[in-house]
Amino acid sequence: MSTKFTDKDLQIIIGNVLRYGVWLALTVALIGGFILLLSSSEQTIDFQNFTIKDNNLFEVFNAIIAGVKQGNGEAIIFLGIIFLFLTPALRLVLSLISFFLEKDRLYVFITLIVIGIIVLSVSFGFSH
Amino acid sequence: MPIIEEQIFISLVVLILNNYFYGSFQKTKVKMTLLTFTLILFLGAFLAGFIGSLSGLGGGIIIIPLLSVFLGVDMHYAIGTALVAVIATSSGSASAYVREGITNMRLGMFLEIATTAGAVIGALISTNAPTSALAIIFGATLIFSSVNSLRKKEDYLIKPENSSILTHKLKLASTYPTPSGEMVHYGMTNIVGGFSMMGLAGMMSGLLGIGSGAFKVIAMDTIMKVPFKVSTTTSNFMMGVTAIASSVIYIQKGYIEPSICMPVIIGVLIGAMVGAKVLVKANTKKLKVFFALLIFVLAINMIYNGIVGKI
Give the tens place of pLDDT for each residue, A91-125.
899 889 888 988 899 999 999 999 999 988 877 76
Nearest to B221 by CA among B242, B243, B193: B193
Amino acid type, A75: A
Kindly determine whether residue A32 and residue B117, on different chains, have CB atoms separated by under 8 Å: no
The residues pairing with B158 across neighbouring beta strands, listed in sequence order, are B187
Contact (CB, 8 A) for B98 and B240: no
Which chain B residue's Cα is nearest to A46? B31
Nearest to B83 by CA among B201, B206, B203, B198: B206
pLDDT at B21 (0 to 100): 52
Q: Could you say which DSSP state residue B282 is in?
A: S
Most confident of A15-19, B72-76, B81-85: B81-85
When CB atoms are compared, the residue of A12, A19, A88 closest to B244 is: A88
Cβ neighbour number for residue B148 with a 10 Å cutoff: 17
Residue of A40, A85, A86 for testing the chain B interface, max B β-carbons within 10 Å: A85
* Residue B249, min C-alpha distance to chain A (Å): 5
* Rounded (5°) CA angle B117-A118-B226: 50
Q: With a cut of 0.90, is the ipTM above it?
A: no
Q: Which of B52-61, B70-79, B153-162, B216-225 shows the lowest mean pLDDT across its residues?
A: B52-61
When CB atoms are compared, the residue of B34, B127, B247 closest to A40 is: B34
Q: Please compute the mean of the pLDDT values over residues A69-83 and round it to a whole number.
A: 92
Alpha helices in chain A, H assignment, sequence order:
7-40, 57-69, 73-101, 105-124
Contact (CB, 8 A) for B106 and B228: no
Sort residue B209 into left (φ over 0), alpha (ψ -120 to 50) or beta. left
Contact (CB, 8 A) for A122 and B121: no
Nearest to A114 by CA among B119, B66, B180: B119
Residue of B79, B97, B116 for testing the chain A interface, max A β-carbons within 10 Å: B116
Work out the percent of chain A whose per-residue pLDDT is above 70: 93
Q: Using CA atoms, how far apart are residues B207 and B203, in angstroms rounded to an integer?
A: 6
Residues 6+ apart with CB under 8 A from A19: B91, B92, B95, B96
Nearest to B209 by CA among B81, B79, B45: B79
The residues pairing with B20 across neighbouring beta strands, listed in sequence order, are none
pLDDT at A48 (0 to 100): 77
Nearest to B305 by CA among B125, B148, B75, B52: B75
Whether pLDDT at B19 is above 60: no
Most confident of A6-10, A42-46, B17-21, B130-134: B130-134
When CB atoms are compared, the residue of B37, B74, B262 closest to A45 is: B37
Report chain A residues whose CB lies below 8 A from the CB of B119: 121
Kindly determine whether residue B124 and residue A91, on different chains, have CB atoms separated by under 8 Å: no
Residues 6+ apart with CB under 8 A from A104: B171
Report chain A residues whose CB lies below 8 A from the CB of B257: 47
* Residue B150, min C-alpha distance to chain A (Å): 30
